[in-house]
Amino acid sequence: MPLVRALVAAAVLAAVCGTGAACASASGTGHRTAGQTATVDGTDHGSAGPTGRGGAPDDEPFFVAPGSHAAGQATAWRAAGRTADAHLMDRIAARPQAEWLTGPRPEAVVRDRTTAAARHRRTAVLVAYYIPQRDCGAHSAGGAPSAAAYRAWIDAFAAGLGDRDAYVVVEPDAVPHTVAGCAQVVPAERYALLAYAVDRLGRQSGTHVYLDAGNAGWIPDPARLVGPLRSSGVARADGIALNVSNFHTDKTTSVYGKRLSSLLGGTRLVIDTSRNGNGPHPGPGTDLWCNPPGRALGRPPTRRTGDPLIDAYLWIKRPGESDGTCRGGPAAGRWWPSYALRLAANAHD
């Protein structure tokens, strides 16, 4: 299935683009916590910008879901007379972002999101984030209570996908946390669960599965990831996801990703560019991955990457959602308007 999808994707890319082309201080990631799936908890407002069907530019495939925090913030600020700030917030609201599935009942949310995307002839981007011992007990701790519960959760996720188009990023941090020595995890058990997720989600005909492989600053020697990724089913995935919720530049991540890809026999990449416009914080300090100041939105989501190995640049981390309770931020995954505004104001695009 991944090979067939890869051949189709390559043909589409050629037609469109031509031939161009530990969460703690080590991981550099702050993710959604349980119960933070945006369209389920009832806290989203407003609608996305009017750039195309589903809010995306007409030549891009990814779905902009209505009702994002950024869209609601822009609406509220316009009503309050803060039109310049609202215009900046539109830079986030009008662009496609991933939907994180973090709670115990994913099926309805996955079905609703992919159905809405299909209605607009768009592709949903989803994140499966419910592995047991998630985040090794750090800011986004939680996940399934057992291996059996996780497999059932993945089955429900897959049922929600149906045959509709979706990109699914599988379990940010799960492999690199384990490689980094998370004491709460039995490596063989975790890798078996990840392999189950890759295989089960990959059976859905419209689904592209990308197994998370961390970021360039976490496990500097990519050779350390090869065995764990293989045990986690990467050969049967469509590729790997890099830089999720992190700040490394496209160039740094691409170089790192290509080193890792070559060790894996040429696996393909998607890269999170949501907040890497200014690269990582230079320091000094600790926890520089957690709500660092002076960062900026990165390259907008696109499949037109100009690089035949990179399937897409995506906004996997939702800009403006906190990395955790550091530097004055709210809990991981909570909306932080002032931080979102700074990301947008600093953007180069």
Quick one: how far is CA 282 from the chain centroid? Answer: 23
Contacts of residue 295, defined as CB under 8 A and 6 or more positions apart, other chains included, come to 247, 275, 276, 277, 278, 281, 342, 343, 346
Helix (H, G, I), strand (E, B) or coil at 321: strand
Contact 292, 280 (CB under 8 A): yes
Q: Where are the alpha helices (DSSP H) in the chain?
A: 2-17, 23-27, 69-79, 83-93, 107-119, 147-161, 174-179, 187-202, 223-231, 250-263, 337-345
Residue 80's contacts (CB-CB under 8 Å, 6 or more residues apart) are: none
Question: Other C-beta atoms within 10 Å of 120: how many?
Answer: 15
CA quadruple 264, 238, 37, 231: dihedral sign: negative
173 is catalytic: yes
Q: Are 320 and 346 in contact (CB under 8 A)?
A: no
Short-list 240, 96, 232, 113, CA closest to 166: 113
Catalytic one of 165, 173, 272, 287: 173
Active site residue 112: no
The C-alpha angle with vertex 341 and arms to 337 and 344, in degrees rounded to 5, equals 140
Q: Which of 44, 85, 90, 135 is catalytic?
A: 135
| 135 labelled catalytic | yes
Identity of the residue numbered 13 = L
Neighbour-count burial of 270, counting CB atoms closer than 10 A to its CB (0-12 exposed, 13-18 middle, 19+ buried): buried
Pair 337, 289: CB distance under 8 Å:
no
Judge whether 122 and 56 are in contact, CB under 8 Å: yes
| Among the listed residues 236, 235, 258, the one whose alpha carbon sits nearest the alpha carbon of residue 308 | 258
CB 288 within 8 A of CB 25: yes
Residues serving a catalytic function are 135, 173, 323
